[in-house]
Amino acid sequence: MRMPEPDADVIAGRGALVAALRGVLAEEGVIWSDNELKAYECDGLTAYRQVPLAVALPEDTRQVSRVLEICSEHGAKVVPRGAGTSLSGGALPLADGVLLGLGKFNRILEIDYENRCAVVQPGVSNLSVSEAVADEGFYYAPDPSSQIVCTIGGNVAENSGGVHCLKYGVTTNNILGLEIVLMDGEVVRLGGKHLDPEGYDLMGVMAGSEGLLGVITEVTVRILKKPEVARAVLVGFPDIEDGGRFVADIIAAGIVPGGMEMMDKPAIHAVEEFCHAGYPMDAEALAIVELDGHVTEVDHLIARVEDIAHRCRASSVRTSHSEEERLAFWLGRKSAFGAVGRISPDYFCMDGTVPRRALPEVLRRMAQMSARFGLRVANVFHAGDGNLHPLILYDANVPGELEKAEEFGAEILKLCVEVGGVLTGEHGVGVEKRDLMGEMFTDADLEQQQRLKCAFDPGGSLNPGKVFPTIRRCAELGRMHVHRGQLPFPDIPRF
């Protein structure tokens, strides 16, 4: 993975930069010893590593603003980081960049039950928001699988989803307000506790901006009342095509489940050997459908889902009758990544989204690719929204396997685009999928996106080298190529 050429002058000026940072941050708020910097050299995408120039750990918005001003003055780039759980390398450091850690922003500032929202700092973990409001029966809906550690700030930057987003939406649908700091140190507030502020929806573009537009320093999230009850149905299928039809039939019946997950045979086996969740070993595909809400509604819909399962030739149908049973159904799915980690020294977790109807075809072609590359693949996916997580198993110690796995992954993502889907459903582009952006977007599409970045960060110093395959200067992007002349289209109706 090629990153932007580091600026030798900035690296040479590290001493002055660190001194300036120490002038505004607490003693332990600046890290520059090689030993300590090593801890920050990668995020959840461990295949890529780079030790940062320095790490800054500010404690409040004013300090973030000062750190960004100082970095701007010194020409240093900045990479923001929450808990570092990105699976796409979004928080991969730069040799000439300061890693801006937001771990000290770990306070819940306000819980406003009457307006059904909470104001939190970006370093608060996703799960602790739900825990903080649990006593009153509320929760925060987006639940990425890393929710124990991943932070709300990172969730906004990546527009994180989770297993319940078919019904409850992703991060962008569940936030009301943001405070951000721009690269020049300016603090801007977007939204608040009210809905749909007018003006350009800058909160909408901050969600999923992967740390390239601004540093998030405060988030106002919506909190929801916990559903009265949740029940799950565990369904095994003799054929993946039956599983695909099952998912389509549920949607066609007008049912929107809280969650609808699937796994293929290799994933079922890895999971079953790991945690003995009681999954059917003979099934080619396994679906977990969760219904939540009012007890009358859930009971009614569970019966309909069971009926659809039988009509789709299900080989086994089990319905949870207690909370313990429901959690047991989920245990396997939730430990899938860990289970796969046990049967293979290394794995890549991919993240494309495809139209639901393309699921069987994509799985079939992935199996063919697996044979061609000689690498195993196990699939877990959010079937409700077509978001696939193929896990490509490889061994980094075998020369050439990493490269082969990367190539396999790229082929899968190209296939997703080919069938009408997209490169990434929830993990982000980062560095991992950066060079594949051309598969989905034209130069004009990408240039327009970069012009948006120019409005926020004209110097291109915030998290460069991520998302965009080619870095373009804002002056060049702003230029207009104008061809004056007569209206060149006599055939456009005019009045």
Partner 1 sequence: MPETFRPRDADQVRETVAWAAAEERPLEIRGGGSKRGLGRPTDGHDVLEISGLGGVTYYEPTELVLAAAAGTPLAAVEAELARNRQRLAFEPVDYGPVTGGPAERSTVGGVVACNISGPRRIQAGAARDHCLGITAVSGRGEAFKSGGRVVKNVTGYDLSKLMAGSYGTLAVLTEVTFKVLPVPEETRTVLVHGLEETAGIAALGKAAASGLEPTALAHLPPSAASRSAVDRVSGASDSVTAIRIEGPAPSVEARSASLRKLFEPTGDTGELHGRDSDALWREIGGVKLLPMDDGVLWRLSVPPTTAAGVVREIARALPRVGAIRTMFDWAGGLIWLTVEGVEDAAHGVVLGAIASGGGHATLIRAPGEIRRRVPVFHPRDPGLAALNARVKRGFDPRGILNPGRLSADY
For partner 1, the binding residues in 410-449 under the rule CB under 8 A are 420-429, 433, 437, 440-442, 444-449
**Rounded to the nearest whole angstrom, what is the least distance from the CB of residue 382 to partner 1 in the complex?**
7
The nearer residue to partner 1, 272 or 435, going by C-beta atoms, is 435
**Rounded to the nearest whole angstrom, what is the least distance from the CB of residue 378 to partner 1 in the complex?**
20
SS3 119: strand
What phi-psi label fits residue 220: left (phi over 0), alpha (psi between -120 and 50 degrees) or beta?
beta
The nearer residue to partner 1, 34 or 476, going by C-beta atoms, is 476
Q: Which stretch binds partner 1 (CB under 8 A): 39-47, 145-153, 231-239, 384-392?
A: 384-392
Determine contact, residues 393/376, Cβ cutoff 8 Å. yes
Residues numbered 245-284 forming contacts with partner 1, rule: CB under 8 A: 248, 251-252, 254-256
**Rounded to the nearest whole angstrom, what is the least distance from the CB of residue 229 to partner 1 in the complex?**
10
**Rounded to the nearest whole angstrom, what is the least distance from the CB of residue 334 to partner 1 in the complex?**
19
Instruction: Write the DSSP symbol of residue 6.
Output: P
d(CA 326, CA 231): 6
Among 205, 208, 210, 206, CA closest to 79: 210
The nearer residue to partner 1, 152 or 202, going by C-beta atoms, is 202
The nearer residue to partner 1, 134 or 252, going by C-beta atoms, is 252
Q: Which stretch binds partner 1 (CB under 8 A): 25-33, 110-118, 266-274, 372-380?
A: 110-118
Residues numbered 215-244 forming contacts with partner 1, rule: CB under 8 A: 225-228
Residues numbered 143-202 forming contacts with partner 1, rule: CB under 8 A: 158-159, 161, 165-166, 169-170, 172-173, 182, 186-190, 192-202
The nearer residue to partner 1, 334 or 382, going by C-beta atoms, is 382
**Rounded to the nearest whole angstrom, what is the least distance from the CB of residue 263 to partner 1 in the complex?**
18
Instruction: Write the DSSP symbol of residue 434.
Output: G
The nearer residue to partner 1, 393 or 412, going by C-beta atoms, is 412
**Rounded to the nearest whole angstrom, what is the least distance from the CB of residue 430 to partner 1 in the complex?**
10
Residues numbered 330-369 forming contacts with partner 1, rule: CB under 8 A: 353-357
User: Which position among 178, 205, 350, 363 is part of the footprint of partner 1 (CB under 8 A)?
Assistant: 205
Which helix (H) or strand (E) segment holds residue 262: the answer is strand 259-264
Query: What one-character-per-residue DSSP string does 461-487 give?
Result: -BSTTSS-SS---HHHHH-------S-
The nearer residue to partner 1, 125 or 387, going by C-beta atoms, is 387
Segments in 169-257 forming alpha helices (H): 202-206, 240-252
- 459 scored as a contact of partner 1 (CB under 8 A): no
**Rounded to the nearest whole angstrom, what is the least distance from the CB of residue 201 to partner 1 in the complex?**
5
The nearer residue to partner 1, 356 or 376, going by C-beta atoms, is 356
The nearer residue to partner 1, 9 or 136, going by C-beta atoms, is 136
Residues numbered 33-72 forming contacts with partner 1, rule: CB under 8 A: none
Long-range Cβ contacts of 421-424 (<8 Å, 24+ apart): 421/352, 421/353, 421/354, 421/355, 421/358, 421/386, 422/352, 422/353, 423/352, 424/88, 424/351, 424/352, 424/353
d(CA 281, CA 380): 15
Phi, psi of 143 (to 5 degrees): -135, 70
389 alpha-carbon distance from chain centroid: 12
331 alpha-carbon distance from chain centroid: 21
Q: Which stretch binds partner 1 (CB under 8 A): 43-51, 92-100, 380-388, 399-407?
A: 380-388
d(CA 350, CA 425): 10
**Rounded to the nearest whole angstrom, what is the least distance from the CB of residue 141 to partner 1 in the complex?**
12
**Rounded to the nearest whole angstrom, what is the least distance from the CB of residue 72 to partner 1 in the complex?**
16
Angle between helices 336-343 and 323-334 (to 10 degrees): 40
SS3 114: coil
Instruction: Give CA torsion, residues 463, 464, 469, 471, to 10 deg.
Output: 150
Let me know the angle formed at the C-alpha of 48 by 45 and 52, rounded to the nearest 5 degrees: 105
Determine contact, residues 316/280, Cβ cutoff 8 Å. yes
The nearer residue to partner 1, 400 or 493, going by C-beta atoms, is 493
**Rounded to the nearest whole angstrom, what is the least distance from the CB of residue 431 to partner 1 in the complex?**
14
**Rounded to the nearest whole angstrom, what is the least distance from the CB of residue 246 to partner 1 in the complex?**
12
Determine contact, residues 337/274, Cβ cutoff 8 Å. no
- 297 scored as a contact of partner 1 (CB under 8 A): yes
- 111 scored as a contact of partner 1 (CB under 8 A): no
The nearer residue to partner 1, 280 or 384, going by C-beta atoms, is 384
**Rounded to the nearest whole angstrom, what is the least distance from the CB of residue 173 to partner 1 in the complex?**
5
Residues numbered 9-38 forming contacts with partner 1, rule: CB under 8 A: none
